[in-house]
A and B are shown apart, each in its own frame.
Chain A
Amino acid sequence: MTKAYADLPALYGRLTGDEKHDWAAASTLDVLWVLYDRVLRVDPAHPDDPGRDRFLLSKGHGPMAFYSVLAAKGFIEESTLDDWLSFGSVLGYHPDRTLVPGVEIGSGSLGHGLPIGLGQAIGLTAGQRVFVLLGDGELDEGSNHEAIAVAGRRGQANLTAVVVDNGSATHGWPGGIAARFAVEGWATATVDGRDHAALERALTTDHPGAPLAVVAEIEKG
């Protein structure tokens, strides 16, 4: 049985032991929920369906919100959360795609998701879409900028990058994050990263002939 957004704090609490405070600070929680609840064409009963959309959590460090959403949507058993990080658990502090159904990439080392997602977007030609979630700090990694340029120039319209911006980049992004994508030919939108309706609208807006970057702004917790 799948759960509602209101159930996430309890699931989150099974990972952190504190359902009152930690979950509210998770910068990715709302974006993940909107993606899995309203945007992604994925089916927990068939997590390997070739026709599914791909969601890549590139910012794999501290994946509690991701695991909570996967449990809420039925990709993993809720009880899996209780012994995470133990030797026999499939859930670690960095996710591993070979262990968890519905996890498309093993991540944790920053800057890998967008190039891989671009390759998937190129390789998927039956209408599947690829969504990659990055952090604004992760955007420091040069590998992202290689992929941003290539995807923009290819007009890779089935690729969406979601950048959760909570102002953690060491040297910042003068002129804004969206501008980095726009100059390379991406469609862009910058929205309140807690506003579900705005996130859904941005993530489902048509962007013919261009990849899409959605910058989800979050107040630094």
Chain B
Amino acid sequence: MREEFVRVTTEAIEQDERVALVIAAISADRFTSALARHPDRVVDVGIREQAMVGVAAGLALTGHRAVVHTYVPFLIERPYEQVKLDFGHQGVHPVLVSIGASYDEPSTGRTHQAPADVALVDALPGYTIHVPGHAAEVEPLLRAALASDEPVYLRLSQRQNSAPMPATGGLVPVRHGSLGVVVAVGPVLDQVLAATEGLDVAVLYTATARPFDAAGLRAAVDSAAPNVVVVEPYLRDTSAGVVAAALRDLPHRQLGLGVRRDAEVHAYGTVEEHDAVHGLDPAGIREAVRGFLGA
């Protein structure tokens, strides 16, 4: 996904002089040509994330479409107040692009993990939040983001599904079933499909967590029992509120699966081992879904 981001952004910088990119050392080796060719709108500030966000906001205030990119904890958590004030409060908006989703690189430990990123961005007004599940989904989402002036967070992962899905912004039906509806967000679709194999549940996919497709969920729930499971590759229950809002007038049950909130996992190892800890491996998802639905 990062390579697609680099390719599309580099093309956009060449094609559209509105597009600006600010980075903080991370991925600089992939943007050497753009940095050299366009020093007035492609900037590497070094390992300075507060300046990265402020400089990008300054570029946005001078009419640029500013893309801000680094590893997720240093993009969303470390300069969070800069993101809040230097963009939204000023009435200008960025395209934030992160790499290093949740525990993409378990060997790096907690310092390089920020599974609360989507919840934090969602706490700021107006953000569209994309969670592509395949590298081929990056380009249409990024091109649409660059063409708009709205706030966008594009969350890239090293993990992806075996095949791309339509990145429509809405919920895409993948499988039909009657006992409930399972929503897979981004790169958890393969695990969700494996986990629900043989179960009588509907499966929906989306690469866009916000705005949440309330109408799509409502339509799916109208065709199945009102039992909703959301499987997200970041903080568990990040979308519980939007699901509740979508079904406010309908008695329903919901279950959130995602990265655990109750404890920090002090462990390295592999992504599969971390999936198991968080209940995001196929066996964990299956057990949770069956328990929830009594299936």
The residues of A with any CB-CB pair to B shorter than 8 Å are 50, 96-98, 104-106, 109, 111-112, 114-125, 142-143, 146-147, 149-150, 154
Contacts and interface: CB of A to CB of B under 8 A. Distances in A.
Given A120-B58, A121-B58, A147-B54, 4 more contacts: A97-B90, A106-B89, A115-B82, A124-B62
Nearest to A153: B46
Given A123-B40, A143-B50, A109 B55 contact: no
A123 B51 contact: no
Given A106-B90, A123-B20, A125-B40, A143 B51 contact: yes
Nearest to A105: B90
Q: How large is the interface on B (under 10, 10 to 19, 20 to 34, 35 or more residues)?
A: 20 to 34
B53 interface: yes
Secondary structure class of chain A's binding surface, majority of residues: helix
25 contacts: A96-B89, A98-B91, A105-B90, A106-B89, A106-B90, A109-B85, A112-B54, A115-B86, A116-B55, A116-B58, A116-B90, A118-B54, A118-B55, A119-B54, A119-B59, A119-B60, A120-B61, A122-B43, A123-B61, A143-B51, A143-B82, A146-B51, A147-B51, A149-B48, A150-B45
Contact of A120 (B50, B62, B89): B62
B4 to A, nearest CB: 26
B69 interface: no
Contacts of B130: none
A105 B81 CA distance: 15
B85 A106 contact: yes
B182 interface: no
A118 B40 CA distance: 11
